A and B are shown apart, each in its own frame.
Chain A
Amino acid sequence: MIPTPQSDSARLITPTMLVLWLVLATVPFWIARVGLYPYLGIEILIWSLYALAFNLVLGTAGLPSFGHGAYFGIGAYAFGLCQFNVVANLWVCLAAAFAVAGLAGALVALFISHRRGIYYAFMTIAFGQIFWTVAIKSHKVTGGEDGLLKIARLPADFGFASFDLAGNVAFYYFVLMVFGIAVIALWRLVHSPYGRVIAAIKQSETRAAHLGYNVWLYKASIFALSAAVSGFAGGLFAMAQLAAFPDVMSLHQSGYVVMMTLVGGGLVSFWGPVIGVFLFLIARDVIGAMTNAWMLYFGLLFIAVVLFRPEGVAGAIMAAWQNRSLNSMRQQGGTALRLLFGGGRWR
């Protein structure tokens, strides 16, 4: 079908977004009654934003980044350090989280953007480990393994009114608002000409280069952008936790966001990462309450997805609801998975 201005990809706000936001807006009213707790809602939203940002690289660009936790963590530290050393203003500190993580991403992008596939994956791991080590060892700046403590949930000052975000419910709604705006921006991004070029580069760097696209610059820019938004989510996470810890920057935590995104179906759907985060965090709490080995089960699920169901949960949902064939979703997921690890240098 010719995408028309009436199709979802051309919309600023889609019906799916509206439904999602409405459902999310009711969460504080019932979450405690189903045996969960409001803080979980905050965690889900922040990780969803992080996973969506991560999927710009993994799903949209087809580049395997396995050290993305670094940028999430850098955002968290940047938020805290800005608060302590520059100015205790929410907007400035969030902007700092975005900018510093974006800069770190841009720096790494300089070294990896001529690669793709397994080489790219290894380099992102290596750089991720470097940032993690720096965070652990720079006691004076980051607090080392103890973390950067006493980060405050700064009030949200809108000029006409200022909101105290210290309580979990108020903070939840603040994060939901930010999440909503970010979703609109990211949806636009992936459906913009820029997003289509990125998707084209994923399929053939050679073809894109001979159409006149500076492949390196596009790959570097999407990585930096993804790092920046991840860092922004990290800034929110520092507020949520009232601290910043090096743990989120570690290799295994970077692996979590990969697992969430793939299980959710980020390779075939914009919403895949969000679904994955919901499943992961709820499984952590629900199955985790029954057994310490919950990760064993999620890990098995992950293996099953990679081997047999590359379309992930989102693919299955799309097949059921949008009358798309599950087989074509599976093929699409399989192709995306192959593109992630196929090929080294593009020329």
Chain B
Amino acid sequence: MALIEVSGVHVRFGDRVVLESIDLTVPEGEFHGLMGPNGAGKTTFFNVLTGRVKPSRGSIRFDGEDVTGLSSHRIAAKGVARSFQIMTLFDEFSARENVMVGLPGFRARGFDMHHAAAGDRGFAEKASEILVTVGLADKGDTRAKDLSYGDRRALEIAVALGQGPRVLCLDEPTSGLGSDGVQRLATLVGRLKGKLTIVAIEHDMEFLFSLADCISVIHWGQVVARGAPHELQQNEWVKRSNLGRFA
């Protein structure tokens, strides 16, 4: 059974149809890439998947359970973590605290009003461990807003990992990064591959074609092509568009 099963998802804002009909299945452990031109509806699809936007029609099943229309905090609690195209961090918190607040154990104590958060070393230690895995070992005390752009991208992934997710949704993780930064991120994401299910929207074709097990091309609000990277390169639609050009 696939971990994520999306069928016939349709989204309209007023009289503007953003997603015509999206069907997508992602088996557990797969790295699934999403590509498509700007305005194709990729981010809106992510927003539906993670509960920010309710679909007008269609259904989303996560691990067999219908999660269509659940609010984002409920979907997150089921193990769906996401990053954003425009980085979204707790800027005034230190890198460590950004990760700490995302830990499921911390969330479980979210309404604890009478213990000191700093009194529990466990959270800080766990957060520090995660920072090490993304290469931010010595940046734990730095405020998120004082980190470099590349470090902030890494911190976004650290925060998502801290959630202990089953699915990691990455919305253009390389956007704004230079070639060194993309390389660093590719290494980091490459290490995660196989350990958890990853769905990534990405414009960097090299990044996507080297990492993804399967890629779906979204255009005009629907999936117009799907397949393993080498299959997609042969796909007529991809060939005709300029999307496969770099592959």
Contacts and interface: CB of A to CB of B under 8 A. Distances in A.
A114 to B, nearest CB: 11
A2 B100 CA distance: 11
A209 B71 contact: yes
A347 B52 contact: yes
Interface string A203-246: 11011111111110010010000000000000000000000000
B117 A207 contact: no
Given A193-B106, A193-B109, A211 B119 contact: no
B91 A203 contact: yes
A195 B121 contact: no
A192 interface: yes
Contact of A2 (B102, B107, B113, B124): B124
A200 interface: yes
Contacts of A196: 97, 100-101, 117
Given A197-B110, A209-B76, A211-B76, A3 B88 contact: no
A212 B159 CA distance: 12
A347 B106 CA distance: 23
B104 interface: yes
A189 interface: yes
A10 interface: yes
A4 interface: yes
A129 interface: no
Interface string A299-332: 0000000000000000000000000000000001
A9 B115 contact: no
Interface residues of B, number: 43
A104 to B, nearest CB: 21
B167 to A, nearest CB: 12
A162 interface: no
A4 B141 CA distance: 13
A191 B117 contact: yes
B130 to A, nearest CB: 14
B66 to A, nearest CB: 19
A5 B73 contact: no
Contacts of A85: none
Which has the most chain B C-beta neighbours within 10 Å: A4, A10, A196, A213?
Answer: A196
Contacts of A10: 116, 118-119
Contacts of B73: 209-215
B90 interface: yes
Contact of B90 (A192, A200, A214): A200
B152 interface: no
Given A192-B113, A207-B89, A5 B119 contact: yes
Nearest to B114: A188
A253 interface: no
A197 B110 CA distance: 7
13 contacts: A2-B140, A5-B121, A10-B118, A188-B114, A191-B117, A199-B93, A200-B93, A210-B76, A210-B81, A211-B101, A212-B107, A212-B163, A214-B73
Interface of A: 1-5, 7, 9-11, 188-189, 191-197, 199-200, 203-204, 206-215, 218, 221, 332, 335, 347
